[in-house]
Structure 1
Amino acid sequence: MTSQSMAAALARTMGLTYAELLRTASVKRVDVSSLAALAHAIRLIDSPDSPPPHPEDLPQQLAALNEHRHRTRLGAVLRQLPGVLADGTNHAHATQSPDAWGRVADTYSVVYWLAARHRWMHLAELAVMKQRLAAERARPIAATVAARDEAGAFLNSGDFAGGLAVVDQAVVEAESTLRGRDRAYGLGILHLRGLTLAGRIKDQRTARRHVDAAWRAAAEFPADIADHGIHFGPENTAVHVISTASDMEEYRDALETADDLLRAGTSLPATRIGPLHMSLSRSHLALGDRDAALASLEDAWDVAPEMARVHPTSQELVRVLTSLHRRSNPRLTRLAKRAGVTF
């Protein structure tokens, strides 16, 4: 199975972007108008319209949007994003409140997340640029979240070293600007991004540095929290450590850590548990256990079907498993059909 670091190298050799090699996910016909409306709302950051009549509803609207995100309801996120972004931007221009601009920045974080899931990289990069602009008018934590997402755009484009540079600079800034809970949370999400990036280039020393720092930050939280639409705490740190262990081909360590996490039970949402099962499927497959790999991939589809449909790891796992099976397997046939992969 091709690693993401190898895929990035292949893309450079072939003169392709990382997203082109992994293939951009298509938009359903019913969602084309929502994507056009989102593009219009993005332009409003410099050209505001009338403020919304009920600004008191804006926090609840953003919370509902993030709930769809956490449940990996990608279609619902796309349909609701244009209105939430437009109303939030217009209100922020009308009030110039740091909290209002913070909500705009958080909404652009959702735009980035949706674009990254579909590998719409031009939109993802535009989203983090606009997120940065909004964060400049918000409280300091907004800039930290924006840097985390900017590093994510580097990650999704296959520029892992560039993403690490963004993380390192953001860590220095966060250490000087953030205090209390915001400081622990902000540094935590940055170090999670850092360990993921380091794992993709198999930089064990840098990955270990970010792992240790993430665990120190996670120790400040007895349970995972979901600030600014992003989860952080002991459980999500464990999920990232598992994924990075798989990236660095430490497959048994990944499976053992996952056993401990799942046996204890987790409160994390589908947006984190789906990728966890994909990581476990990768590790099982690398160790030659196709049945366990299929079972973990089925778990990923059961927990987060809309994400699994567009996620490159899920798609590649289905293709590899179908190519390895020489005889009919009803479970794999059903999964391949859901993924749109010919078996």
Structure 2
Amino acid sequence: MGTTPLAPGANVAALRKARGWSQARLAKQAVVSVSLLSKVEVGDRALTPAVATALGRAMGLSMAEVLGRAPVARDAETLLAELRSAMRDYDLPGRQPVEEDRITAGLAAAGRCRDGVDVASLLKLLPGLLRDATTHAHTANTAESWAALAEVYSTTYWLAARHRWMDLAELAVARQWWAVEQKPNPLAEAIAIRDRAGTYLNFGDCETGLVLIDRAIAAAQASLDGTERDVAVGILNLRGMTLAGRLEDKRDAVREAGRHIRSALAASEHLAVDLDLHGLTFGPQNTLTHRLATNVDLGKPREALKLTDNLAAALEGLPATRVAPTHINVARAQLDVGDRDGALENLGIAWSAAPQMARIHPMGQEVFRVLAALHRRSNPQLLKLSKLSGIAL
């Protein structure tokens, strides 16, 4: 699988040395300073998505490859092989019919695993659920059954993208789109485009991802109405603001991010609470978490921190998939403004909310590396996070 136990910044050093390149050569080709590259490699500065993209282009790698694929436990290799096999058999339904209730229960179980960031249990569940959903969709041949199959592929994409298994992620979104094409379903199509744009995000091609998002927003506005329209337009704009925040040209980034933020806010105003549809959450709360993250990506940590006055209330009821990354983004913003203690506290909250994320979240790993370099190594909180993340002090 080509996985690495290294944190992203350390992985950059390993990739550079494997090519026999000096820091000066890589920095020149990536158009970053040698000082910044040196600090990233030793853990004095966090490797941001923008810098990872620039370094990847210089080395002919995707951003995901620079960040490093998350390690796979030995007992997970068999499950991954089973999942790949089920994806290959996308047009080969089983001989025995599968009842709709079984698919509904399976999707609910997968949703609980995803929301709780229980990636180990999710990987165990997905191969069988995918085969069941495939059989049911071919047999029932309804818009609902194909949408259910697409949702399984969407969850597969989520799992693969979190681990930076980008070959598997790309295959999942291709199968997801194939499923939604079988019967017209504008909401499922919007979700599929949102996931496909995510692969461009992970490869560092934010410009193309934004083209897909804008096209999908126009389609959703024309084909949907009411709550479904708000949700579709909303989740697409959330992806849009993330893509925009990582554009190389910062003026373009600020302009495009602002456009998607305004559109997401307008859609969220029609919803009193966040809604969970097909494994995705949209509403006022999730819009706030994305605004916070986008401000951090734009290099505006103080603007991001202005959104955290009552963070516990703002995150109440959201799944761990949103709570943990938000606290990681807060920690990154605090690190940028020099609040080391606050950053360490929020990193601890993030990893308590989603322990399994500690081993696979690149920015969480990077913030930890920087804090370990800045704090005394005997700090008990650092020791606790070291055990959670698997990163030695």
Query: TM-score w.r.t. structure 2 length?
Result: 0.85
Residue of structure 2 equivalent to 1:269: 319
- The letter for the 2-side match of 1:269 is P
Residue of structure 2 equivalent to 1:286: 336
Q: Secondary structure at the match of 1:166?
A: helix
**Is 1:219–2:269 an aligned residue pair?**
yes
- The letter for the 2-side match of 1:30 is D
Residue number among 97, 106, 120 corresponding to 2:165 in the alignment: 120
Do 1:167 and 1:193's aligned partners in 2 also have CA atoms closer than 8 Å?
yes
Residue of structure 1 equivalent to 2:353: 303
List aligned pairs for 1:16-165, cutoff 5 A: 16-138=61-183, 139-165=185-211
Between the two proteins, what is the percent identity of the paired residues? 45
- The letter for the 2-side match of 1:98 is A
List aligned pairs for 1:168-187, cutoff 5 A: 168-187=214-233
Residue number among 363, 368, 375 corresponding to 1:313 in the alignment: 363
- CA RMSD, 1 decimal: 1.3
| Structure 1 pair 223–324 and aligned structure 2 pair: CA distance change class (3 A) | same
Residue number among 201, 213, 230 corresponding to 1:167 in the alignment: 213
**Is 1:12–2:57 an aligned residue pair?**
yes
The whole-number CA distance in structure 2 between the counterparts of 1:178 and 1:328 is: 56
Residue of structure 2 equivalent to 1:195: 241
| Structure 1 pair 262–156 and aligned structure 2 pair: CA distance change class (3 A) | same
The whole-number CA distance in structure 2 between the counterparts of 1:51 and 1:208 is: 51
The whole-number CA distance in structure 2 between the counterparts of 1:128 and 1:264 is: 31
Find runs of 4+ consecutive structure 1 residues off by over 4 angstroms: none
Do 2:285 and 2:315's aligned partners in 1 also have CA atoms closer than 8 Å?
no
Q: May I ask how many residue pairs the two structures share in their alignment?
A: 343
Which of these two proteins has the greater Rg computed from alpha carbons?
2
The whole-number CA distance in structure 2 between the counterparts of 1:35 and 1:325 is: 38
5+ residue gaps in structure 2? 1-45
**Is 1:249–2:299 an aligned residue pair?**
yes
Do 2:93 and 2:134's aligned partners in 1 also have CA atoms closer than 8 Å?
yes
How many Å apart are 1:54 and its aligned residue?
Answer: 3.2
- The letter for the 2-side match of 1:148 is R
**Is 1:209–2:266 an aligned residue pair?**
no
The whole-number CA distance in structure 1 between the counterparts of 2:265 and 2:275 is: 15
The whole-number CA distance in structure 2 between the counterparts of 1:265 and 1:22 is: 27
Query: TM-score w.r.t. structure 1 length?
Result: 0.97
